[in-house]
Structure formats: C-alpha cells, structure tokens
C-alpha cells in the first residue's frame, strides 16, 4: 500500500501519569513490542495525528522518539531527553 510505513515508537518517561497517557495513546495507533516500544503502521495523516496528540500531552519527564523502519531514517523527538548525553551516540542495534 502506497503512503503507508511501519514505525517504531519508543519512549522513556519517568512520571507514571505521563507514561500511562502515552501508553494509552499509543495503543490506539499500534501494538506493544516491549514495555516502552510500540510498532505502528501509519500513513502520513495518521503520523501527523500521532505527533499532534503527543505534543498536546506536553511531556515534561522524558521523551518519545518515532523511527521509520527502514535502513536510513531520522527520528522525530517529542519532549526532552532526561540525560545530558546525546541518546543517539554510540552503537544501535536493529533486529
């Protein structure tokens, strides 16, 4: 199907309340792969809707990243990482 892609949506949130809201939201867009990882099949409209919904949550205690599942991609980051280190530094493993 044209215009549809698979995405890994990962989050690292310290607040239980925020984490529950993110979890509930993501269940409407995809399915859980691990505790803080969802896989979503989205068209451009659904992706924009997901990003708008995440921005409306006004995340304060962590971040959400959206990775397009392909060989070359750049993640969309919503919120601020909880560490001063660049979370993209170092090796990455895609299985």
**How buried is 1 (Cβ within 10 angstroms: 0-12 exposed, 13-18 middle, 19+ buried)?**
exposed
Q: Other C-beta atoms within 10 Å of 64: how many?
A: 26
Q: Is 12 annotated as a binding residue?
A: yes
Task: Specify binding-site residues.
Answer: 12
Task: Specify binding-site residues for Mg(2+).
Answer: 12
């Amino acid at each position: 199907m044209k215009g549809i892609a698979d995405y890994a949506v990962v989050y690292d949130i310290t607040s239980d309340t925020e984490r529950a809201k993110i979890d509930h939201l993501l269940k409407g867009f995809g399915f859980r792969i691990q505790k803080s990882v969802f896989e979503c099949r989205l068209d451009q409209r659904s992706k924009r809707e997901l990003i708008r919904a995440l921005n409306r949550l006004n995340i304060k205690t962590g971040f959400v990243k959206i990775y397009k599942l392909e060989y070359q991609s750049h993640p969309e980051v919503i919120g601020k990482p909880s560490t001063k280190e660049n979370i993209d530094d170092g090796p990455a493993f895609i299985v």
